[in-house]
Chains A and B, each alone.
Chain A
Amino acid sequence: MELNLEILFNYLRDVLYNPANAVLDIEKLPEDIQEFASGIQYFAECAIEAKAMALALSRGELDSKQPSRGNEIAAPLKSLHASLRHLTWQAQQIAQGDYQQRVDFMGEFSDAFNLMVEQMDERQKSLEGKINQIQQGSLLLSALMHNVPLQIIVIDISTHEILFMNDIAESEVNNDASYIENLVGIISSHYGLGSKSKSEIEIAYDQNGNLRSFMINTYLLDWNNSNAEVFVINDISETKNKIEELEIQAFQDNLTGLYNRSFGMLTFNNWINEKKSFTLIFTDLDNLKYINDEFGHNEGDVYIKNAAKHLRDFSPDAMACRLGGDEFMILAPAINYEEAYEKMNVIYDSFKNDKFLEDKTYSYSISFGIVAVESDNELTAGEILGIADEKMYENKRMRKKSKQENNM
């Protein structure tokens, strides 16, 4: 009896501590305890299977061999196994974006899991809303960038690689392959690349002899972890040309093409204020009133235009303007009184001998008064003109007198 008990005891010990070698040979036991021993053996095998399953579950192995059917000890573990397999499936669904998955009847775990999924769902919806907003903004930005009449170019500051350009910039590059390279060269030599976070610069770009003007706004930004600079380029060539045309129209005398009184007086006053040394020549056309009265204003205009042509020849540095009617003014920098006088005499002679006027029946000539304005001048423009006017009349009288004497 003691031996039988020892066999059973050792068997139970092996079941607990050495299950791989736990063996019970029922046949060797007395017949009257074989059924009892069979019960112990079944119980032990159920326990071994349950332990093996618990071990597999503890390792997260959900595809391990399942305990035998009818193993009542392993039943709760099989229930847990079913729950874990279901949770695995639910986690896979959630990973695919199905946030309707919920865990039921698993106590606090259900609450925590379901709360997590609800929050993920909310975050997903929030993110989708933000992504939608960003996409709409991006679409709008893209539409704007490709439709504004501005060139937008983004370059890598280090490598000068083009990171982005809009359609209008791309068409420039298609027409001029070295466009960006030249542009970047001009900007970097004058202003430096990446020197200011934001700036507005104006550059002139000589494109095969066609001088273009660009107003460029630059911005620094981080572009995919590269230091980049954005150039927003406004081609102001046409605008500048129009402004120049308007300036010419505003400052030009329509009849003669010389500067008009406004621009002449503006320059005159500026030079006085700047304490500039220059010579002023005040010129009057002789006989204009007579010509207008006798031959008509059209002939008077011809007379005026021809005189202006001669006065324009005074000097390329000088500024000739028509003050009005038959009065002209020349402002000549870097020419002294004597040189001016000499030049005016040359103009006088060339005017008098102008072949264009050969067939005219009226006499034509100019009178002029010259005033040298020095840098220490204290007189006003009106006072200087007054002096020049007097000198002009003196010149006119002198020439008349000389003519009369010659005719006597």
Chain B
Amino acid sequence: MKNVFMKNKGHEEFSWEALGNIKEGRGDLGEEMPVLVYRLMQFTMLDVLSKANGLDQANEYFRQAGFLAGMEFSKNVLDLTVDFNAFVANLQKTLMDLKIGILRMESFNPETGDIVLTVGQDLDCSGLPITNENVCIYDEGFIAGILEAYTGKKYDVREIDCWASGDRVCRFNGAVLK
């Protein structure tokens, strides 16, 4: 029997609406949850994907997922019409309000579009054991998605310092792709 009323797509294709009505769905538990749960899902997924496809491919999946998240987050949460300073201020506040991390700008070259920023108390990595790795691959994609959504330019974002490599903040270098 075919239900003709169900026209929603499946969850295999992302849409902002597919995130659902969290407030209504979690009336008692609310919209927040511990960082532990987020990391549990993230690192178990990394484990599975790495074993299935190798670490590099797993990281690439994470970067692409982060990019998609960054684009959708920008389009649905941020105001993309304001000037750069106002956009950064709004982004800082939003990331802090959502407890994603403390975003801090270090430099921005208005001519090239190149950017250096840090994220403190990062959702993905702050507090991880030191393993001399850069683990914020998802963040790299997330930031690249936000920058592209605002500037319209494609960015290559790389994490150059990470908690897991012994730093206390994660530093990201964003370069506009030629």
- By a beta-carbon cutoff of 8 Å, the part of chain A in contact with chain B is 66, 68-72, 74-76, 78-79, 82-83, 85-86, 88-90, 93, 98, 100-101, 104-105
B89 touches A70 (CB 8 A): no
Partner-binding segment picked from B19-27, B66-74, B162-170: B162-170
Interface string of B102-135 (1 = CB under 8 A from A): 1011111000000010101000000000101000
A70 touches B130 (CB 8 A): yes
Q: Is B158 an interface residue (CB 8 A)?
A: no
B85 touches A79 (CB 8 A): no
Q: Which of A69, A79, A83, A104 has the most CB of B within 10 A?
A: A69
Report the 5 A-B pairs with minimum CB-CB distance, sorted nearest first: A79-B168, A86-B104, A70-B166, A85-B106, A69-B165
Q: Is B86 an interface residue (CB 8 A)?
A: yes
Q: Given the complex of chains A and B, what is the CA–CA distance between A62 and B85 in angstroms? A: 23
User: Given A101-B89, A104-B102, A105-B102, do A82 and B166 touch, yes or no (CB 8 Å)?
Assistant: no
Contacts of A82 in B (CB 8 A): 104, 106, 118, 120, 161, 167-169, 171
Contacts of B89 in A (CB 8 A): 98, 100-101
Q: Would you mind naming 24 contact pairs between A and B with Cβ atoms under 8 Å apart?
A: A66-B161, A69-B132, A69-B165, A70-B130, A78-B169, A79-B120, A79-B167, A82-B118, A82-B161, A82-B167, A82-B168, A82-B169, A82-B171, A85-B106, A85-B116, A86-B105, A86-B106, A88-B106, A89-B104, A89-B105, A89-B108, A93-B85, A98-B85, A100-B85
Q: Closest CB of chain B to A393's CB: distance in Å?
A: 105
- Checking B108, B130, B169 against A79 with a beta-carbon cut-off of 8 angstroms, the contacting residue is B169
Q: Which of A74, A82, A88, A93 has the most CB of B within 10 A?
A: A82
Contacts of B118 in A (CB 8 A): 82, 85-86
Q: Closest CB of chain B to A31's CB: distance in Å?
A: 27
Smallest Cβ-Cβ distance to B130: which chain A residue: A70
Q: Given the complex of chains A and B, what is the CA–CA distance between A215 and B165 in angstroms? A: 86
Known: A82-B161, A82-B169. 20 other contacts (CB 8 A): A68-B166, A69-B166, A69-B167, A70-B132, A75-B166, A75-B167, A76-B168, A78-B167, A79-B169, A82-B118, A82-B120, A83-B104, A85-B106, A86-B104, A86-B106, A88-B106, A89-B104, A89-B108, A93-B85, A100-B86
Q: Given the complex of chains A and B, what is the CA–CA distance between A90 and B106 in angstroms? A: 8
Contacts of B165 in A (CB 8 A): 69-70
- Checking A72, A88, A100, A101 against B130 with a beta-carbon cut-off of 8 angstroms, the contacting residue is A72
Interface size class of B (residues with CB under 8 A): 20 to 34
A75 touches B132 (CB 8 A): no
Q: Given the complex of chains A and B, what is the CA–CA distance between A86 and B108 in angstroms? A: 11
- Checking A78, A90, A100, A105 against B161 with a beta-carbon cut-off of 8 angstroms, the contacting residue is A78
Q: Given the complex of chains A and B, what is the CA–CA distance between A15 and B63 in angstroms? A: 42
Q: Is B18 an interface residue (CB 8 A)?
A: no
Q: Given the complex of chains A and B, what is the CA–CA distance between A219 and B85 in angstroms? A: 49
Smallest Cβ-Cβ distance to A96: which chain B residue: B85
Q: Given the complex of chains A and B, what is the CA–CA distance between A121 and B62 in angstroms? A: 42
Q: Given the complex of chains A and B, what is the CA–CA distance between A70 and B132 in angstroms? A: 6
Residues of B75-93 whose CB lies within 8 A of A? 85-86, 89
Smallest Cβ-Cβ distance to B167: which chain A residue: A78
Contacts of B96 in A (CB 8 A): 104
Q: Given the complex of chains A and B, what is the CA–CA distance between A76 and B167 in angstroms? A: 8
Contacts of B166 in A (CB 8 A): 68-72, 74-75
Q: Given the complex of chains A and B, what is the CA–CA distance between A344 and B98 in angstroms? A: 119
Q: Closest CB of chain B to A103's CB: distance in Å?
A: 9
Interface string of B26-50 (1 = CB under 8 A from A): 0000000000000000000000000
Contacts of A70 in B (CB 8 A): 130, 132, 165-166
Contacts of A105 in B (CB 8 A): 102, 120
B85 touches A90 (CB 8 A): no
Residues of B130-165 whose CB lies within 8 A of A? 130, 132, 161, 165
Contacts of A76 in B (CB 8 A): 168
Q: Closest CB of chain A to B109's CB: distance in Å?
A: 12
Smallest Cβ-Cβ distance to B117: which chain A residue: A86
Smallest Cβ-Cβ distance to B162: which chain A residue: A69
Smallest Cβ-Cβ distance to A88: which chain B residue: B106
Q: Given the complex of chains A and B, what is the CA–CA distance between A66 and B165 in angstroms? A: 13
Q: Closest CB of chain B to A292's CB: distance in Å?
A: 97
Q: Closest CB of chain A to B9's CB: distance in Å?
A: 40
Contacts of B108 in A (CB 8 A): 89
Smallest Cβ-Cβ distance to A62: which chain B residue: B106
Q: Given the complex of chains A and B, what is the CA–CA distance between A86 and B85 in angstroms? A: 14
Smallest Cβ-Cβ distance to B105: which chain A residue: A89
User: Given A98-B85, A100-B89, A105-B120, do A89 and B107 touch, yes or no (CB 8 Å)?
Assistant: yes
Q: Given the complex of chains A and B, what is the CA–CA distance between A66 and B107 in angstroms? A: 17
Q: Given the complex of chains A and B, what is the CA–CA distance between A72 and B131 in angstroms? A: 11
Q: Closest CB of chain B to A70's CB: distance in Å?
A: 4
Contacts of B86 in A (CB 8 A): 100
Q: Given the complex of chains A and B, what is the CA–CA distance between A303 and B106 in angstroms? A: 109
Contacts of A98 in B (CB 8 A): 85, 89
